[in-house]
Amino acid sequence: MPCVNVGTDKQPIIICTATIYHYKGYYFELGVCGYCPLRKDNLEPRKSFPSGWAKMINEFVGLTEDRRAKFEI
């Protein structure tokens, strides 16, 4: 999870964001709670996980950290 200090040495302000990936046509983020697809119509929970999602995530999880880093945006 990338973190950036936008404050000063005396008063640090740390902002952390989820890592975003693009793998096999899917955009998704990896945060504290796990993987989540990123889509324009993400308001409907049943539409959030597209077909083929589970297969792609299982394959992605099996990759090494170095290989995953190649798909970071």
Question: Any idea where the domains of the chain sit in the sequence?
Answer: 1-7+19-39+50-73
Q: Report the chain's mean pLDDT, rounded to a whole number.
A: 81
Regarding pTM above 0.95, the answer is no
- Rounded Cα gap, residues 72 and 20, in angstroms: 6
- φ, ψ for residue 10 (rounded to 5)? -75, -30
pLDDT by residue (tens digit) across 15-45? 877 788 999 998 888 876 777 777 666 555 5
Please determine, for residue 50, whether its predicted confidence score (pLDDT) is greater than 80: no
Q: What is the DSSP string of 14-73?
A: EEE--EEEEETTEEEEEETTEEEE--TTTTSHHHHS-TTHHHHHHHHHTS-HHHHHTTB-
- Which residue, among 26, 32, 33, 31, has the nearest Cα to 60 in the 3D structure? 26
